[in-house]
Structure 1
Amino acid sequence: MPVSADHDPAAAPQPTAARSDIPRPEMPRSDMPRPDRPRPSRSRRRPGPPPWVAMYHSVDDCSHDPYRVTVSPRRLDQQLGWLSRRGLRGVGVRELLAARARGEAQNLVGLTFDDGYADFVTHALPLLHRHAFGATLFVLPGRLGGDNAWDPHGPRKPLLSADGIRQAAAEGIEIGSHGLTHVDLTRADDALLRAEVNDSRALLSEVTGAHIHGFCYPYGRVDRRAVDAVREAGYSYACATGPGDLNSLYALPRVHVGERDTAWRLHLKRRLYRHPVDGV
């Protein structure tokens, strides 16, 4: 209260000595929660570091592999073992994103296999089971039982049939769309873009009898128009390779993993390629 001009501070009553019989107000203990500083809720966990997603393709003999899309079963086993020995577990992308939203993805890495090669069931799937890992398999429902005709200079590799896709799904693998026929969506006209994005999702839902959440851009190439088409088609997320400034939930960056990636190279790739992802 301000002191008025006619008030003499010296005349004010002096404070008396504290009496021992008057209870003092209890001071809050340092270990007690204060009303003005509530304890953080356990439900508000930080998402953690950006998701790290590895990109595989074929798992087979790689003696003739001009596009470097093949990893041998022996090398894949070594790579999965390296992750496991470090307390890391490979999972599908949908599981990875859900765990990260809960703040529980610190020891998880995403594993993806593009194109839907038939060797996924014969070579990759048994190794994933051996290490108790999951993965996402991006397939081409417009080429069921066909081959990789989009790679003119590489060996012809058979693709999974509908039965092969159903087998992978039944054994715990997330199935996602890689488009209908593996075309560059950044060069597709509007009608082709809609067919590759929308029709592939509808066909895969029929094949698997399940909702299809993920999409993967063929060749890893993406632009704003492709991102918008995938979002409007109802997918929950999409994977790219190096999406640049489009980096987001609908253009998740991934790291290519191949035959040359020893344990040390894989360690460096995981340490160095940790891109922040907008909205994730």
Structure 2
Amino acid sequence: MVADISAAPRAAEPDPRSLTGGRPRRRPAAWVAMYHSVSNCLDDPHDITVTPGRLERQLAWLAHRGLRGVSVRELLAARARGQEAGLVGLTFDDGYTDFVTTALPVLHRWRCTATVFVLPGRLGGENAWESSGPRKPLLDADGIRGAEAAGMEIASHGLTHVDLTEADDRVLHSEVTESRRLLAGVTGGAVEGFCYPYGLLDERAVDAVRHAGYRYACAITPGPAGSGDFALPRIHLGQADHALRLELKRRLARVRGRALEAV
């Protein structure tokens, strides 16, 4: 015979505020990692390249701590449900072809997704905005569609990689609005994300991105007050980031304003 406990009094549940000095306990802060190129190129004056082996070890580090890399779109959707625990946003700026040839197989091995910020004004071109360092090829339209078909989020990095804080109104509109339109033509779907070139932004750039219809935008450091999801901070991960450095960056994410607070 099974006892009927439906009418039994419930034990009092502890008030979470009693464990935090009267304040509601905050959920663990999610964070977003920023990558660029993944290759074995040793000529890297701007610290934008990680080798495939280093990326493999970094993703393994996440997995061994119960974390999984996802696109920013997935991370924000999970955060809206209060389910972002265990997720880390992964982003790859500039849209280098080595994302498809080199990074993608590593991501698949660790069951990760990512957001790739591409430049529809430089399809099939190269990183000509860099004043030094090697020239690296950029994804063309087929490469972008291939990355999306592999489960990655495709988002805009502007048209040509210019500093939006120094752009006039015409250039700003083109870099933000026209890039979204062109990229939607490549992917055949809505483009939700934007990334400020060089991580540089101001209120004018934030307003332009918001009014262009994007859902969010990534920066590096937090943007002007009130930017919210239109200036999401990120943590740069490079070749030198081994386990100890990764742990330090993770712990300092909230302290240095590089974490996404719960909503």
Q: Same fold (TM over 0.5)?
A: yes
Residues 138-186 of structure 1 deviation map (CA, whole Å, 9 limit, x = unaligned): 0000000000001111100000000000000000000000000000000
Residue 134 of structure 1 corresponds to which residue in structure 2? 113
Find out whether 1:99 has 2:78 as its counterpart: yes
Deviation at 1:62, TM superposition (A): 3.6
Residue 260 of structure 1 corresponds to which residue in structure 2? 240
Instruction: Report if the CA contact (8 A) 1:248-1:277 is conserved.
Output: no
Gaps of at least 5 residues in structure 2 are 1-6, 13-24
Residue 132 of structure 2 corresponds to which residue in structure 1? 153
Task: Return closer, same or farther for 1:179/1:130 CA change in 2, 3 Å cut-off.
Answer: same
TM-score, scaled relative to structure 2: 0.87
Q: How does 1:179-194 map to 2 (within 5 A)?
A: 179-194=158-173
Q: How does 1:1-280 map to 2 (within 5 A)?
A: 31=10, 48-246=27-225, 248-274=228-254, 275=257, 280=263
Query: Aligned with 1:219: secondary structure?
Result: helix
Gaps of at least 5 residues in structure 1 are 1-27, 34-45
TM-score, scaled relative to structure 1: 0.82
Instruction: Report if the CA contact (8 A) 2:116-2:154 is conserved.
Output: yes
**In terms of mean alpha carbon deviation, does 48-57 or 118-127 score higher?**
48-57
Percentage of matched positions with identical amino acids: 64
Deviation at 1:61, TM superposition (A): 1.7
CA RMSD of aligned residues (A): 1.9
Task: Return closer, same or farther for 1:244/1:211 CA change in 2, 3 Å cut-off.
Answer: closer
Deviation at 1:51, TM superposition (A): 2.9
Instruction: Report if the CA contact (8 A) 1:112-1:137 is conserved.
Output: yes
Q: Distance in 2 between matches of 1:278 and 1:29?
A: 38
Instruction: Report if the CA contact (8 A) 2:164-2:205 is conserved.
Output: yes
Code of the residue aligned with 1:272 in structure 2: it is: L
Deviation at 1:245, TM superposition (A): 4.0
Q: Distance in 2 between matches of 1:173 and 1:76?
A: 17
Q: Distance in 1 between matches of 2:228 and 2:133?
A: 32
Deviation at 1:259, TM superposition (A): 0.1
Query: Aligned with 1:109: secondary structure?
Result: strand
Task: Return closer, same or farther for 1:277/1:133 CA change in 2, 3 Å cut-off.
Answer: closer
Q: Distance in 2 between matches of 1:52 and 1:278?
A: 9
Instruction: Report if the CA contact (8 A) 1:47-1:102 is conserved.
Output: no
Code of the residue aligned with 2:66 in structure 1: it is: G
Deviation at 1:85, TM superposition (A): 1.1
Instruction: Report if the CA contact (8 A) 1:48-1:105 is conserved.
Output: no
Instruction: Report if the CA contact (8 A) 2:201-2:223 is conserved.
Output: no
Aligned residues: 241
Task: Return closer, same or farther for 1:138/1:47 CA change in 2, 3 Å cut-off.
Answer: farther
Task: Return closer, same or farther for 1:152/1:32 CA change in 2, 3 Å cut-off.
Answer: closer
Query: Aligned with 1:149: secondary structure?
Result: coil
Query: Aligned with 1:249: secondary structure?
Result: helix
